[in-house]
Structure 1
């Protein structure tokens, strides 16, 4: 049928023919569009698979494995404390000590690269280890003789019996106690759980107080391990007292239990009423609560 013959049809016939043509065109157009989409999808799939395959080949993993996310599932690990050598401890031991999986991984990488820890302080340089973690772990770090510096081993015979320079003191047992009012840092480090850091803290705080009158006072040291108290004792006496009627304001407030305002009140009391005869003379002053009075009582001298 020639195109001009179309115009010899009546109106209804022409409408039918046009509808058929339009329908056929729409069907053809949809077929073309869907066919192109499938091709694009196939190309995208091939490219994606090739990319993953290349990545897998380069890294040594399969595409399926490479697509999986990696998580550490350590669960609720109960933190424990026990002696360990960071040069030889396995991942299970390190996790039990409270280290995070990524910190354990850093230790393994360091050791795999040929690094080793020659002394406990070397462990403090572990990337990501906080100062608090190191302070808690330091008393339990024991470096094997194989990893210690040769120089240290050469002079071992000279220092092993020296009380002041012993680097790795033997720890005491539960049946033994150390009197903390006259012990030096070397002796204090023989207490399980006490390393150089807390030994220095005990000595410094004891000096500022004038001596301990109760083991509970050690809890006033930030982060102090309470489990160590069972190895300590405080014999009677040995406390250096404050000459409350002779010290200046600055000397008074140097004591941990006396702040600036309390020192000022003491100075004012002496100026207005004369020397103190008892700590109870101060109990009517607002800054001297009953708790403050009792804490100061063992340290006052009139």
Structure 2
């Protein structure tokens, strides 16, 4: 093989080499033509630093705050003028004057019942209840609110369930009250909805749901015996609920 064969190129290869050389030459020419001009260095003048005279040194003045540079006038302490002796009153003098002053703005106190007076609990209003010794507006409101939720009181002992009631107060008001059970508004068991049954404080959700389910299976309920086999109720529950159910 002759060494000239290594440098032999076909026509297509020669064209490719020529294009490659032209491309490389174009890159170098572009860098030379479009290169940014170099900025000339800016001549700066030397900074002049004055020399201190020989034998002298610079001393800094001491810092004085602004509020110390000016003298402010001193404010005079205010003294209250002495009060006349006849106007000086102590706490005890004012208290005695208030006690001696007639209480014209106070509301009149409710007249209380005497011993032996008895009122019916279900028909009594707040005006009647506040006349019972030991009962004010607060307990009168609670007693009436609980009566509305129950549908009426069946026994006087139910007052012990009123919010805020305590044993001493219950024992004090017991002799002034009696109950007419005929005034109780009973729940129509065969027509009452689930929400109506649950609204009574003696019936919870599961008990109300059990009553509705039995009513769907048996149809119309005739007496409380149709419900006494339910597991959701105890004997004590039936004693409390029975006066409030209407079949």
Normalised-by-shorter TM-score class: 0.5 to 0.7
State whether structure 2 residue 114 is matched by structure 1 residue 169: no
- Could you tell me the TM-score, scaled by structure 1's length? 0.46
- 1:145 & 1:233 partners in 2: Cα distance? 42
Larger Rg: 2
Asked whether the 8 Å contact 1:185–1:200 carries over to 2, the reply is yes
Q: Which residue of structure 2 lines up, in the alignment, with residue 300 of structure 1? A: 245
Q: Which residue of structure 2 lines up, in the alignment, with residue 204 of structure 1? A: 145
- 2:219 & 2:144 partners in 1: Cα distance? 35
Q: Which residue of structure 1 lines up, in the alignment, with residue 206 of structure 2? A: 261
Asked whether the 8 Å contact 2:139–2:164 carries over to 1, the reply is no
Cα deviation for residue 287 of structure 1 reads 1.6
Cα deviation for residue 283 of structure 1 reads 1.6
- 2:101 & 2:181 partners in 1: Cα distance? 41
- Could you tell me the TM-score, scaled by structure 2's length? 0.56
Cα deviation for residue 147 of structure 1 reads 2.8
Q: Which residue of structure 1 lines up, in the alignment, with residue 170 of structure 2? A: 226
Structure 1 pair 259–114 and aligned structure 2 pair: CA distance change class (3 A): farther
Cα deviation for residue 198 of structure 1 reads 0.8
Asked whether the 8 Å contact 1:280–1:293 carries over to 2, the reply is no
The structure carrying a bigger helix percent of its residues is 1
Q: 4+ residue runs of structure 1 moved beyond 4 angstroms?
A: 111-115
Q: Which residue of structure 2 lines up, in the alignment, with residue 188 of structure 1? A: 129
Task: Summarize deviations over 1:91-115 as a string: whole Å, max 9, x none.
Answer: xxxxxxxxxxxxxxxxxxxx86968
Asked whether the 8 Å contact 1:257–1:292 carries over to 2, the reply is yes
Q: Which residue of structure 2 lines up, in the alignment, with residue 214 of structure 1? A: 155
State whether structure 2 residue 215 is matched by structure 1 residue 275: no
Structure 1 pair 174–145 and aligned structure 2 pair: CA distance change class (3 A): farther
Greater relative contact order, per chain length (Cα 8 Å cut-off, separation 6+): 2
Count how many residue pairs are aligned between Structure 1 and Structure 2: 152
SS at 2:102 equivalent: helix
- 1:145 & 1:171 partners in 2: Cα distance? 25
